[in-house]
Structure 1
């Protein structure tokens, strides 16, 4: 094997890590808003990713049967729909359950774990107990070959572009919008935020719903690289918490950096060892770094 072949394999493996990075970052962004900004341990976050993925699948099924000529255009609309459906479910969940459990993190963990199991059973009963995959538009298929022997999947490029747009949107919203100002004020000092006229309960509900909506977008991205089953979300929930904790619970920049580091470490390690050993290596490195820096890579200085 020549050096050029080794380089191409390394680049393709690194790009595979970027696809994982994209899904982890989208999951981590939603979780960073819910866990990092609000202190809610949402163990059902993976199921909101599955809701987004199933929304894409059902949109593809509907379009294929009712308007097959629109198959080339349905996917971007379905992504917006995935965000909307997950947003609505998140809004209802916060109103019905989460708002009663603020400042009780262990209770939110147990309650959302129960919601997670319930949603998984709903997926099995009302959608499909087996894994499903949507029919993707033709423009998402194939690969781009910038050099001989180097093939980069187009769906991976699309997922990276989608992740960049969502990440930029979240950062702009947090630092340039009225909602972001209210979130930051509530996180800094809830009592003072209430005193200045900010409806912190409404802010909490909207924030939780937006975090769930972003998880829905992560599910939409996931459909381009894998099939969706009732337990697909649970495969990413641990990694998502690792991303948020490792980067710094209240730091979106830390979420981006840690998602990239974890995804690339795992992807490159899998080239030299089994998937299980690659996960063990990645987790060991994270634990070691957190022992040296328990606040995470980028700790935000927040007055409570």
Structure 2
């Protein structure tokens, strides 16, 4: 029973991490059809924003308020990463819509430049971020110790999902975004400013990548290449869930998380990764549109 509960918790924890990483990509790739290979570098920017915020608090704030740095770093990572995403969209991405191969190559080059910029500013070695005191230790339940950091990430994912749902389905801006993604020409005819919608959508997707980077600082040291470790997993989640479907992204993230945990428990970490790739390939052969297919009235 203890091993079963631990496996379930580890699967939920890994799924929540994958979901937080893939949430921004589900917006930029799934809704905008932009293959953003620099998504991993946006994760890196969010992680370094957290590191900078920690450094500022160490030098300028008393120790009793040190824990506040992480709570401030979460919105700061979102805002700063979203601003950089807006700059990238205005300067490059807007010229590459409906050109997936060009966007892939261009954003891959941007990602390499951002990595080198991070090495120049912060150095090549990894740096550590101290977790706030309220996230140290774990919750004892059923003879197990569940780390507070993992529990916090799960709750953070729930909050982010709730924010995305409210924005896309309960606000006028969200309705404009969904209208543009479903039928751009008709939205333009109805007076929707599609350029503004594109800019805001890409910024929101980039901002959630920054939040993911902030959360990853709770799991270990960070470095210029931290985003490259997760970009493939993020694309797997979006493709398995169904391109453009946020509900499918949630199901894909937790599905991959649970199966990956089970395979690693039965075999080894390396073989488990191989098995999850084989499972995904087999699944896509059976259902190439993903878990949740896109419904449209447009004629092919």
Q: Is TM-score (shorter-chain normalized) higher than 0.5? A: yes
2:256 is aligned, of 253, 262, 266, to 262
Say yes or no: does 1:53 pair with 2:47: yes
Give the counterpart of 1:124 among 119, 122, 128. 119
Offset of 1:228 from its aligned partner? 1.1
SS in 2 for 1:9: helix
Cα deviation, residue 230, structure 1: 1.0
Q: Which residue of 1 aligns with 2:247?
A: 253
Matched, 1:201 2:161: no
Change (3 A) 1:40 1:303: farther
Structure 2 partner of 1:14 = 8
CA distance in 2, matches of 1:54, 1:302: 40
- Does the residue aligned with 1:197 lie in a helix, a strand or coil? coil
**Alpha-carbon deviation of 1:187?**
1.0
TM-score (norm 1): 0.95
Deviations 1:43-92 (A, max 9, x none): 00011111111111111111111113321222111101010111011000
Which residue among 234, 258, 272 is the counterpart of 2:266? 272
Matching residue of 2:292? 298
Per-residue deviation at 1:171? 1.2
Q: Is the 8 A contact 1:94 1:208 kept in 2?
A: yes
Q: Provide the TM-score with structure 2 as the length reference.
A: 0.96
**Shift of the alpha carbon at 1:272?**
2.4
Q: Does 1:115 align with 2:110?
A: yes
Where 2:291 maps in the other structure, the secondary structure is: coil
**CA distance, structure 2, for counterparts of residue 268 and residue 241 of structure 1:** 21
Question: Does the CA-based 8 Å contact 1:33-1:207 persist in structure 2?
Answer: yes
- Do the aligned partners of residues 303 and 41 (structure 1) sit closer, same or farther apart at CA in structure 2, a change above 3 Å counting? farther
Compared with structure 1, are the counterparts of its residues 121 and 286 closer, same or farther at alpha carbon in structure 2 (3 Å cutoff)? Answer: same
Aligned residue number for residue 164 of structure 2: 170
**TM superposition shift of 1:18:** 2.2
Q: How does 1:1-304 map to 2 (within 5 A)?
A: 7-67=1-61, 68-148=63-143, 150-303=144-297
Indicate the RMSD between aligned Cα atoms, in angstroms: 1.1
Q: Equivalent residue of 1:270, what SS?
A: helix
Please tell me whether the aligned partners of residues 48 and 216 of structure 1 are also in contact (alpha carbons under 8 angstroms). yes
Secondary structure at the counterpart of residue 230 of structure 2: helix
- 1:191-228 CA deviation, whole Å, 9 max, x = no partner? 11111111101100100010000011111111111221
Check 1:190–1:303 CA distance in 2 against 1; reply closer, same or farther (3 A cut).
Answer: farther
Separation of aligned partners in 1, 2:202 and 2:40: 14
Contact 1:26–1:218 (Cα < 8 Å) also in 2: yes
Gaps of 5+ in 1: 1-6
Q: CA deviation at 1:303?
A: 4.5
Q: Tell me how far apart the structure 1 counterparts of residues 25 and 234 of structure 2 sit (CA, whole Å).
A: 7
Aligned partners of 1:268 and 1:86: how far apart in 2?
34
Structure 2, unaligned runs of 5 or more: none
